[in-house]
Amino acid sequence: MKSFEVPIIYRSPLISAIKKKRKEKDKMKKDFTPTLLDFGPVQIYLARHFGFCYGVENAIEIAFRTVDENPGKRIFLLSEMIHNPQVNEDLQSHGVQFLQDTYGKELIPFSEITGDDIVLIPAFGTTLEIEKKLQAKGIQTEKYNTTCPFVEKVWNRSEVIAKKNYTIVIHGKPTHEETRATFSHAAAGAPAIVVKDMSEAKKLAAYITGERNADEFYTDFKNQYSENFDVRKDLQRIGVVNQTTMLASDTQAIADYLKQIITQQYQPAITEERFADTRDTLCYATNDNQTAVTGMLSTEADLAIVVGGYNSSNTSHLVELCEEKIPTYFINNEDKIISANKILHYNFHTHKEILTANYLPAKPPIKILITSGASCPDAIVESVIKKITGFYPVVTSIDELIVQFEKAD
């Protein structure tokens, strides 16, 4: 797989050594056990897969290269490059300006943009409508497009099944940038609808079977269906694709459920004519990170720490998986670890930070599971490790661990 040039400030010597060694020993990605970092009084277990994915590194490389190659030019981002505050702040410090917030609200009027400006499309992609608006101003969207290739894969798959007259069902968060972009691309070629969870999938199923009054559909799914959607006709042939940062198991469960409903509604022999196979739209990185968390959770530990942006969808799902098994603390950087007794962490259910005392057990060795989202720099994860181990008289230093992993057979 291609390697990218991203700023050295995002790299971690420790984690780079660990990932390199794990990759050499497990080229087929079959071992999802965590990596033990034994500091003596504190033991840290790192997930097998975490941190920057292919799409994120690609976006960061393009963004910083664009800044370097265009001194003096105005450079804009449609919205956040990725859902990581450090990366976005770094880009702003280099003079990059955001046109919209994460929900699509204009921060700088599009009327102020000219054909001489550069506009970066973020890793989430953008809608066809915005792309056409930029192109009409003479802006070269294709040259500065950082859309993740795996997001584009979902768009391409949607286009293929749209041509076969399937309606596109998108599993995603309706207001998320990626979902808005995927919806726009899907709706250009076929009827499309967004379902955010299994509850909405079950509601949609009731319209497939005719159990719910068709007229109620337009209220139940307000702002989630394409123009001229005909609930009486457009749910007879469907295919399910996903927002790539959702739980892969949830997307598959929704697809399996709706396929079952289609099978019951029509003859089993013609299910394939009514339901498109779209399993190939699940993102490998999302799937790997989630599977790695499942593998990590098989290790007995006292707590889990998940590092990443608070508005990061893929990170929140890692938190969700951890919360089912163990006390979990969601933080966006090492500064949230205030002391050995206090941690300021984010509750993504209530969208508020919480100050928790006595989060570390009193008796060593303390065992901590750590992972991070796909948009979180490894350097932040190393800083979290340093902050925690700094509270204890460790018997092994980080520098010694780096040497151990670099020399390990």
Residue 161 CA to its chain's centroid (Å): 24
DSSP-derived secondary structure letter, 121: B
How far lies 111's CA from each of 115, 137, 214, 350, in Å? 11, 9, 41, 36
Q: Among positive and negative, which fits the CA dihedral 98, 102, 105, 110? A: positive
Structure tokens at 248: 């892969």
Distance CA 408, CA 328 (A): 31
Give me the catalytic one of 57, 177, 178, 200.
178
Give dist(CA 378, CA 387) in Å, integer. Answer: 14
Distance CA 333, CA 338 (A): 11
Query: Which contacts (CB < 8 Å, 24+ apart) does range 140-146 have?
Result: 144/62, 144/66, 144/118, 144/119, 144/120, 145/120, 145/121, 146/58, 146/59, 146/62, 146/63, 146/81, 146/120, 146/121, 146/122
For 292-384, where are the E strands, in sequence order?
Answer: 303-307, 328-331, 342-347, 352-357, 366-372
- Contact predicate 206/182, CB 8 Å: no
Q: Which amino acid is at 98?
A: F
Cβ proximity of 321 and 297 under 8 Å: yes
What the block records as the tokens of 299 is: 């290790």
Give ∠ CA 75-78-79 in degrees, rounded to 5.
Answer: 115
Beta strands 238-242; 192-195: pairing state: unpaired
Q: At what angle do helices 177-187 and 128-136 cross, to 10 degrees?
A: 90
Q: What secondary structure letter does DSSP report for 106?
A: B
Q: How far apart, in whole angstroms, are the C-alpha atoms of residue 330 and residue 347?
A: 7
- Is there a catalytic annotation at residue 178? yes
Q: Which residues are catalytic?
A: 178
